[in-house]
Each structure stands twice: as structure tokens, then as C-alpha cells.
């Protein structure tokens, strides 16, 4: 299997005229959407106890208090604390998503880290063959993009630490930027550049 290194010259000019801020906004939005949203603090209503008035309203010379669950008490509730119904999603327009992907691809091409091959198939389904394929590229980690993933190739890449196999329709700017190199099938590359 021979790999062709794609340079910036081989990309349409739409890929090269994108402002990098689009990629930043998309990656920020992608990371925000992955947040688990589990931060939670109890309010004064949720802290146990506090049913009885701590001391009499009048006669003690102290400020009146209604409950020991109030925020200024040690062990009391938290005022305006985090709740787990917060929405972290950040909107990114469809056009901006496309521009972010274009910039991520152009960046890889500019650094000589975008590889295109006719077909990515590991007939044996063996991990060692997939590792050999990755070693030939000589990259730290690789995003492998196939038009349609077959069972044997999926099995071969499943346990490869420095490679992540996806189908062409799963490609997004975050994944393209996260991996140090991209290896894609010619059909995927042609579809991507034709859409621009």
C-alpha cells in the first residue's frame, strides 16, 4: 500500500483561507459538550437538620437566626453553588464547523502530516499488521479514516494505542486537530475536497 503525502498545494483554496479562530471555537465547544456535569453542592434547603431555631429570637443580645443550615454557618448550605442541571453546550454554526475542519486539514497538509492512500484494509484482522502499517508512517499517533469500516480492519486497529479508526462521516475538526497525523482513503479525501 503506497501512501501519498498531501501538501497545501493539493488542497482547494477554501482550505487555506480559513482563520484559525474557527478551529479554536469548535474545539472549545466540543470539549464543553464532553463535560460530565456532575458538580453539585447542597443548598440550605437540602442540608439535613436545621428544623429547630438555634436560639430564642430575643433576649440573647445576638443577631436573630432561623436555621443552622444557612450559608454563613459551618456545615450549612452553599449559596449559589453548582447544580447538575447546568447546560455547558456552546453553539457553533454549521458553516463554522466546516471551516474548522478545513483549517485542521490544511494545518496537517502544511506540516506534511496528511497521507492519502487508495484503500486501508488489513485482510488478516491482526493487530501486528495494523501496527506495521502505522510504523511505516513514522508518526506519533494517527487518525485513520476509512470510507466504510470492515470487520477485519476494525479488529486489527481495535488495540492499536497510537491509532484511531473512524469512518469518513465521523470526521470532525476536533479529531483532525487532536492527532499528529491523518491517514485517509482517497475516496474520503475526494469527497472532502469536492464539498468545499
Residues 126-135 have pLDDT tens digits of: 999 999 999 9
Query: Per-residue confidence at 117, pLDDT binned at 50, 70, 90?
Result: very high
Whether 103 shows a pLDDT value over 70: the answer reads yes
Q: Tell me what the mean pLDDT of segment 62-87 comes to.
A: 94
In order of their start, the domains of the chain are: 3-18+90-195 (3.40.1370.10), 36-87 (no CATH)
Per-residue pLDDT band for 18 (boundaries 50, 70, 90) equals: very high
Give the count of beta carbons closer than 10 Å to the beta carbon of residue 24: 14
Residue 187 CB neighbour total at 10 angstroms? 16
pLDDT above 80 (res 195): no
CA dihedral 26, 29, 30, 31 (to 10 degrees): 120
* C-alpha grid cell, residue 20: 484559525
For residues 190 and 178, give the distance between their C-alpha atoms in angstroms, rounded to a whole number.
22
Would the pLDDT of 1 be above 70?
no
Taking 80 as the threshold, does the pLDDT of residue 36 lie above it? yes
Nearest 5°: CA angle at 24, between 147 and 185?
A: 15
Q: Could you tell me the three cell numbers for 68?
A: 443552622
Q: What is the mean pLDDT of the chain?
A: 92
Amino acid at each position: 500500500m503506497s501512501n501519498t503525502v498531501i501538501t497545501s498545494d493539493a488542497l482547494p483554496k477554501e482550505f487555506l483561507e480559513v482563520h484559525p479562530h474557527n478551529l479554536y471555537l469548535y474545539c472549545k465547544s466540543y470539549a464543553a459538550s464532553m463535560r460530565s456535569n456532575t458538580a453539585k453542592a447542597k443548598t440550605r434547603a437540602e442540608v439535613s437538620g436545621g428544623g429547630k431555631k438555634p436560639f430564642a429570637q430575643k433576649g440573647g443580645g445576638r443577631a436573630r437566626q432561623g436555621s443552622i443550615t444557612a450559608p454563613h454557618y459551618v456545615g450549612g448550605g452553599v449559596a449559589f453553588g453548582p447544580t447538575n442541571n447546568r447546560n455547558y453546550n456552546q453553539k457553533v454554526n454549521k458553516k463554522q464547523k466546516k471551516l474548522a475542519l478545513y483549517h485542521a486539514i490544511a494545518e496537517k497538509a502544511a506540516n506534511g502530516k496528511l497521507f492519502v492512500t487508495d484503500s486501508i484494509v488489513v485482510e488478516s484482522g491482526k493487530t501486528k499488521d495494523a501496527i506495521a502499517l502505522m510504523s511505516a508512517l513514522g508518526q506519533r499517533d494517527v487518525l485513520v479514516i476509512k470510507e466504510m469500516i470492515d470487520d477485519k480492519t476494525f479488529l486489527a486497529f481495535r488495540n492499536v494505542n497510537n491509532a484511531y479508526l473512524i469512518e469518513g462521516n465521523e470526521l470532525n475538526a476536533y479529531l483532525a486537530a487532536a492527532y499528529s497525523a491523518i491517514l485517509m482513503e482517497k475516496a474520503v479525501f475526494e469527497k472532502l475536497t469536492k464539498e468545499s
